[in-house]
Every structure is written in structure tokens, then in C-alpha cells.
């Protein structure tokens, strides 16, 4: 498999969710006045997590599944969850669908985008185990997969 294929899959599913959100007119039961600020708050929260995580993995933040660092990052949000970038992107996309008041988009986040994120994270975990072995296993038993306390190995 091409090493960038999981990232491409994420991009395609994310764009698909956005297209669904814009094109299918089934609105969440809330006013625009409520949806826009709530959605933007959720987007900013998710993207803040992405930025926080990216500052901790620095040059490894290139979208590839293969680890690019020789040390296992355990700082910042990585103290709590193994895949904060994927979690943050999912939160941000939820925020966009809320701001657009889109039922189909919100459902698409969980049926299309999140599964592609989980797939990518599982591939990444195999590569991390291959590179770091027991150090990775120990870390994985102490941290959640995408949510804290959920998915500890």
C-alpha cells in the first residue's frame, strides 16, 4: 500500500462529508444564530487540539503512517491519547456540520470520516509497534486510543 493512501482516504472522506453537508438539505433543529457560534466553538476546540498535538510531534506531522521520529512522543496531548490529531480533526468536522446545521453531514462524520481515521490510526499503530516494540506496548496500555481511558491496549 502506498504510504500516503490513508491520508488521501481521510481527505476524500472529509471532503465528502463537507459536500454532503452543503448539498443535502436536512437541517439540525437549531437556529442559525445558535448553530454558527456553537459550530465555530467546536471547530476551534478541535483545531486547537490538532495544533497542540502537531507542536509536540513537529517534523513527524506530515500525514504519513510511518513514524518519522526516533523517539516515541509522550508529551502534550499524547500523555492522554495516542491519536490526538485524528480526534481533533474529527471534532473540527463535527463543528463544521453543526455550524451548517447538517444532519447528513453529522452522520457522515461518524459513518465515513471517523472510520477512515480509525483505519489510519490502526495502520500507524502497527508501524509504531514495529519501530518501538515494548516501549510502544507500554505506552499503549497507559493511554486511550482516540479518547482518554477508552481503547487502552
Question: Minimum mean pLDDT among 14-18, 77-81, 96-100: which range?
Answer: 14-18
Over 80: is that where the pLDDT of 148 sits?
A: no
63-74 confidence digits (pLDDT tens): 555 566 678 888
**Three-class DSSP category at 122:** helix
d(CA 39, CA 106): 11
For cell 493512501, name the residue: 5
Q: C-alpha angle 42/43/46, rounded to 5°? A: 85
For position 113, what pLDDT does the model report?
94
What confidence category does residue 22 fall into, taking pLDDT thresholds of 50, 70 and 90? confident
> What is the average pLDDT value for the chain, to the nearest integer?
87
Mapping DSSP onto H, E and C, the string for the chain reads CCCCHHHHHHHHHHHHHHHHHHHCCCECCCCHHHHHHHHHHHHHHHHHHHHHHHHHHHHHCCCCCCCCCCCCCCCHHHHCECCHHHHHHHHHHHHHHHHCCEHHHHHHHHHHHHHHHHHHHHHHHHHHHHHHCHHHHHHHHHCECCECCECCC
Domains of the chain: 36-142 (1.20.120.1630)
10-20 confidence digits (pLDDT tens): 888 888 888 88
Over 70: is that where the pLDDT of 75 sits?
A: yes
d(CA 84, CA 88): 6
**Higher local confidence (pLDDT), 97 or 73:** 97
For position 14, what pLDDT does the model report?
87
Amino acid at each position: 500500500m502506498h504510504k500516503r493512501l490513508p491520508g488521501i482516504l481521510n481527505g476524500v472522506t472529509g471532503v465528502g462529508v463537507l459536500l454532503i453537508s452543503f448539498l443535502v438539505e436536512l437541517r439540525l433543529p437549531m437556529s442559525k444564530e445558535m448553530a454558527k457560534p456553537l459550530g465555530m466553538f467546536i471547530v476551534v476546540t478541535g483545531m486547537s487540539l490538532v495544533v497542540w498535538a502537531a507542536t509536540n510531534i513537529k517534523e513527524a506531522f506530515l500525514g504519513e503512517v510511518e513514524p518519522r521520529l526516533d523517539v516515541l512522543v509522550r508529551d502534550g496531548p499524547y500523555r492522554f491519547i495516542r491519536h490526538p490529531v485524528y480526534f481533533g480533526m474529527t471534532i473540527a468536522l463535527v463543528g463544521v456540520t453543526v455550524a451548517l446545521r447538517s444532519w447528513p453531514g453529522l452522520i457522515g462524520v461518524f459513518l465515513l470520516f471517523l472510520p477512515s481515521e480509525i483505519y489510519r490510526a490502526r495502520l500507524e499503530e502497527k508501524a509504531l509497534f514495529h519501530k518501538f516494540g515494548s516501549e510502544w506496548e507500554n505506552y499503549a496500555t497507559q493511554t486511550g486510543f482516540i479518547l482518554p481511558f477508552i481503547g487502552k491496549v
